[in-house]
Structure 1
Amino acid sequence: MIGLAPPDHDPDAPQTLTTLPVGSPATVRHYVGGLIRRHRGAFTVLITVNAAAVIASMAGPYLLGGVVEKLSAGARDLQLEQTLAVFAVALAAQTVFVRTVRLRGAVLGERMLADLREDFLVRSVALPPGVLERAGTGDLLSRITTDVDRLSRSMREAVPQLAISVVWVGLLIGGLTVTAPPLAVSVAVALPLLIVGCRWYFKRAPSAYRSESAGYAAVSAVLTESVDAGRTVEAHRLGARRIALSERRIREWTQWERYTLFLRSVLFPVIDLTHVLLLGSVLLLGGAFVMRGWISPGQLTTGALLAQMLIEPVGLILRWYDELQEAQVSLARLVGVREIEPEATDADRHPDGRDVHADGVSFGYRAGVDVLREISLRVRPGTRLALVGPSGAGKSTLGRLLAGIYGPRVGSVTLGGAELSTMPPERIREQVALVNQEHHVFVGSLRDNLLLARTAAADAELWAALGAVDAADWARALPRGLDTGVGSGGHTLTPAQAQQIALARLVLADPHTLVLDEATSLLDPRAARDLERSLGRVLAGRTVVAIAHRLHTAHDADVIAVVEDGRISELGSHDELVTAGGAYAALWRSWHG
């Protein structure tokens, strides 16, 4: 078949943009098999009730065929009252069974969809933190929103309906074979066209739908990044460039949309023509068989009606199978997280002390490009270490390595002699906490947001934590205090207040080692200074690694590490480094004018 060609694949095509993997066919089959086994009882009931509904629906053709058979034999007493009574009972039974099938199918679909959502969430949360940090925002959003939305209809309707239709077709063909074996051959007349059309379509559809989904994820990524970084886009006059990139991604996505629409525009006429051939072949061949005496008029009547009934389930199978092509792509994207190997951890490994030690560490986000090179650093318990240096030098990356978010490519990062990369994430978070510039306020009350850090904390402890970060005054002024709803749709908090909530969580979590990556950047300098003094009293005795551009933070630190071009160029106290007259001294003079 000749028609619209798929869009060209360029080096920046959307399907290359995802950072989380797409599940292989084997992974998808394994997951679907597990899902069916999990709900095998419900599937068995659904198939059984559906089989009863199909058998009840076949009563009409057999009863009408019997009437025709009697007429052709010259019978005068057709016993129509009994026939109508049996038909009414069969129709009533069919109605009850069909209603039950639809109800149980919908419930089964909802349960499977709930399982899928829960499985994806659990798997995503369990992913290594570094994998989640590197994952694109648009890709993550499109998976949990668009892909789940596409699957919702399939789970609610396509999977149950497909199972129902397969049983329906099998029983009808079986009934046709038992009633009039020669007519069963006539069904095969329409098969070649159906097979050729479906092979042509299903050979192209999966990759096309996959590319369409990747294209939508690319559009989401561009739009999300442009909105989130709106001020940066305006400041650097990148508006035209971002618009051009957005238009390009939308154009690529719509090209794939048009291509998948073209595929469906070929498949559906083939299905309609198959229906015509099926019924036509049964009538024409059946008429010839009656004339030759191979079957009776009653058998032809019953066979023709059963063949007519075949049209609906065959159409449903093809329709829902097409729906499942899109669903399969979305499912592959959701279960793709199962292909990410969990980082090897030693559940029995416990740190023996609080020393943080980086030894010969090199690390890069891409193969062959190291951001950090040969970093060696020891942070004694209770030390306040400041990481300073120019933007892009690797300070935040080093902080994430010390917090156990990433594992080094070369070398080791240990806590109390235990390598962080081999410790379970839950154990690391109990002892080391990272607070950066990005703070999320969850939908719920202020109390709920604080209890995330320590679920058993009393109100007095919550107020103490808020007071420690200078947030108690504005929190008490809220309409309902700790019970005030915040987050999306709730009381609007300023970025600085959201940052204070994050720091209050830190106080409640009570880790012995903290990594603060510009944790007070959203506050004005004077407020930030006051907050850092308050935090200094609360965090006394803890190990603190502070990544800062405001050098007053470095001034208060016990040790300062100057990071330049992925290496530590200077290490010492404020006075030592100012006296040395190196890079830090130059930064300090520049800071003070």
Structure 2
Amino acid sequence: MSVPLPLASAREVLHELRKSLPRGWWRLPSLIAVVLSAAASGVVGPLALGVVVDAIGAGDDAPPLAWTLAAVMAGAVVTGAVLTAVGMVSASQLFESALADLRERMVDTALHLPPARVEHAGTGDLIARAGDDVAQVSDAIPRVVPALVGAAFTIAVTLVGMAVIDPWYAVALIAITPLHVFAVRRYLRHAPGVYAAERAAMAERAQHLLDTLRGLETVRAYRTAPSHLDRISTASWAVVRWSMRARGIQNLFFARLNAAEFLGMAGLLVVGFVLVANGHGSVGGTTAAMLLFLRLFGPINELLFVVDDLQSALASLSRIVGVIRTAAPRDPVSESSRGPAGVEPHGTEPRDVDPRDVDPRDVDLRGITHAYDAGHPVLHDVSLRIAAGESVAVVGASGAGKSTLAAIAAGVHDPLVGEVDRPRSVALVTQDVHVFDADLRDNLTLAAPGATDDEVHAALRHVGAEDIVARLARGLDEPVGASGTPLSPSEAQHLALARVLLADPAFIVLDEATAEAGSTEAGRLEDAASAAIGGRTALVVAHRLSQAASADRVVLLDAGRVHEEGTHDDLRTAGGAYARLWDAWSRST
């Protein structure tokens, strides 16, 4: 069962946003001044038009007044438009920069998370956060930021303008505020949970899609497409259900806003009628008040409408910041832990080792017990010491725990029980090798960014892969991967082994790294693996027993326990399980 990465609280989101604006905070005062000036410019037009109405009502037909007011209104409109545009662009730039910083810090954190934590969460969850959630926030910024920054100032300035005409107009405007507050509070009561559930459903859908696409050949081979499609369909309909529920909440929210607009307009008309009828107001003043209120429709509706976008963006920000705030991994060099219920510690007492006899390249696994499900251990009290420069092959039946032991030795998983000492420089090569969508040189130098072309060629030559460069028209500059020249499984594995040489780690773990090669390429790839190990400390999960024969020592796992251990020749002579396994393999080859 997957365990999603955590969500951040509103306080944590605000804290991380502040950290993402260390170089842009000085823009805020000037941004506020620009937006406030734009809001003030918008009040000029309705007030001037009110003066025109009163002048006409008084029989004043002096052309200069009309032209003057027209010029003032036109100037206010142009000034307001320019300042609004400047404010929107500046605000968007400021917060887009903050989002870019958040995204970079999220990816950096994700790259340093323990692989086991990412596996437990599911790569779909992480991809959804880095893709869908970042896109959601990025799309919301151009709508939310101008609305939040501009609408608040516009409402405040308009309220002041109404109070200048007559305080009763401001009172009428304030009287309908509870309706807006009610609409927003009811919306906020239900919307956050719905949006969070919608995002989680999207992550679940992404996970099922990734699982199916990554294992497409296996799905076809075992004809399990219907069950995978059922899971994708179920996850997709879950997204649809949550999305429809979100749309329903939106529609109810908008209906309440429309009711507030109607009541506000009616209230202002009543107040204007009473004031004019009693001689306390003018038709021009009422006209100006009504125009100011109509002018508020846009900012108020925009502000309240973007509450929807804001909630969606905050849900996404919570997921993005949740990755950033994830606890830092423990030191992988030397760790110990106790298992959950159903996994009892065995043999966890540290062995007496003279520090003078310990080489920093040694690997020591002591009392390792591990389980993916509580109560069902896959490794039981496994202890293994690999001396510096020694190669140890691990063999056994499928399900014996070989890959789990390799993952723990490499630091991919932490043991539930036991201790692991390993060098800090570790390279793991599995049968699932990725070729990046880049040129051949970049695919190799990612392990050693400073490597020269001569060093790259030497690494390829050392693992017998120089023919890859020879067959590519542009050599190291040839694009490979998804959009470039395809590489065969054997070539991809050779590429991975060449990366190991360029990285030059102290400890190498090969987990059936030759399994993807066809029978015609098996020998070449095994030779390449041996060349990559080349005197380094190595743990090899042997896909073929010929790899075990060339190792310094062989460990036979059976049901998660060390069943036999020794050199290849000693185990064959002993006539035990390894000898029988070797005889059966020899007859089949």
TM-score by length of 1: 0.89
- 1:15-164 pair list within 5 angstroms: 17=2, 19-35=4-20, 39-73=24-58, 75=60, 77=62, 79-164=65-150
Q: 1:207: Cα distance to partner?
A: 0.9
2: CA distance, partners of 1:316 / 1:405: 49
1: CA distance, partners of 2:116 / 2:160: 56
Per mean C-alpha deviation after superposition, the further-off stretch among 311-320 and 163-172 is 163-172
Q: How many residues align?
A: 565
SS at match of 2:393: strand
1: CA distance, partners of 2:482 / 2:373: 35
Q: 1:291: Cα distance to partner?
A: 2.1
2: CA distance, partners of 1:159 / 1:195: 20
- 1:165-314 pair list within 5 angstroms: 165-314=151-300
Change (3 A) 1:415 1:590: same
Q: Do 1:282 and 1:304's aligned partners in 2 also have CA atoms closer than 8 Å?
A: yes
2: CA distance, partners of 1:89 / 1:544: 78
Q: Deviations over 1:55-78 (max 9, x none)?
A: 111111121222234445554547
Q: 1:534: Cα distance to partner?
A: 4.2
Q: Which residue of 1 aligns with 2:346?
A: none
Change (3 A) 1:448 1:308: same
Q: 1:446: Cα distance to partner?
A: 0.9
Q: Which residue of 1 aligns with 2:579?
A: 585
Please report the RMSD computed on the Cα atoms of aligned residues, expressed in angstroms: 2.5
Give the unaligned 5+ runs of structure 2: 336-354
1: CA distance, partners of 2:389 / 2:21: 54
Q: 1:404: Cα distance to partner?
A: 2.3
Q: 1:436: Cα distance to partner?
A: 1.1
Q: 1:415: Cα distance to partner?
A: 2.9
Q: Which residue of 2 aligns with 1:393?
A: 400
Identity across the alignment (%): 36
Change (3 A) 1:490 1:234: closer
2: CA distance, partners of 1:129 / 1:445: 26
SS at match of 1:340: coil
2:505 matched to 1:511? yes
2:289 matched to 1:342? no
2: CA distance, partners of 1:517 / 1:76: 93
Of 408, 411, 414, the match for 2:418: 411
Change (3 A) 1:444 1:237: closer
Q: 1:104: Cα distance to partner?
A: 2.0
Per mean C-alpha deviation after superposition, the further-off stretch among 337-346 and 111-120 is 337-346
Of 491, 494, 498, the match for 1:500: 494
SS at match of 2:377: coil
SS at match of 2:523: helix
Q: 1:508: Cα distance to partner?
A: 0.9
2: CA distance, partners of 1:136 / 1:538: 31
Q: Do 1:18 and 1:214's aligned partners in 2 also have CA atoms closer than 8 Å?
A: no
Q: 1:548: Cα distance to partner?
A: 1.8
Q: Do 2:6 and 2:322's aligned partners in 1 also have CA atoms closer than 8 Å?
A: yes
SS at match of 1:289: helix
Per mean C-alpha deviation after superposition, the further-off stretch among 486-495 and 446-455 is 486-495
Q: Deviations over 1:299-350 (max 9, x none)?
A: 3222222111111111111111111111111111111113321124499999
2: CA distance, partners of 1:32 / 1:370: 43
Change (3 A) 1:163 1:17: farther
Change (3 A) 1:141 1:483: same
Of 339, 363, 372, the match for 1:365: 372
Counterpart amino acid of 1:354? Answer: R
Counterpart amino acid of 1:64? Answer: L
TM-score by length of 2: 0.90
Give the unaligned 5+ runs of structure 1: 1-15, 417-427
Q: Which residue of 1 aligns with 2:352?
A: none
Change (3 A) 1:88 1:265: closer
Q: 1:571: Cα distance to partner?
A: 1.0
SS at match of 2:384: strand
SS at match of 1:435: strand
Q: 1:29: Cα distance to partner?
A: 3.0
Q: 1:401: Cα distance to partner?
A: 1.7
Change (3 A) 1:367 1:300: farther
Q: Do 1:165 and 1:317's aligned partners in 2 also have CA atoms closer than 8 Å?
A: yes
Q: Which residue of 1 aligns with 2:564?
A: 570
Q: Do 1:112 and 1:155's aligned partners in 2 also have CA atoms closer than 8 Å?
A: no
Change (3 A) 1:273 1:433: same
Per mean C-alpha deviation after superposition, the further-off stretch among 21-30 and 307-316 is 21-30
Change (3 A) 1:348 1:361: closer
Counterpart amino acid of 1:174? Answer: V
1: CA distance, partners of 2:39 / 2:304: 19
Counterpart amino acid of 2:24? Answer: H
Per mean C-alpha deviation after superposition, the further-off stretch among 18-27 and 489-498 is 18-27
2: CA distance, partners of 1:554 / 1:508: 25
Q: Which residue of 1 aligns with 2:533?
A: 539
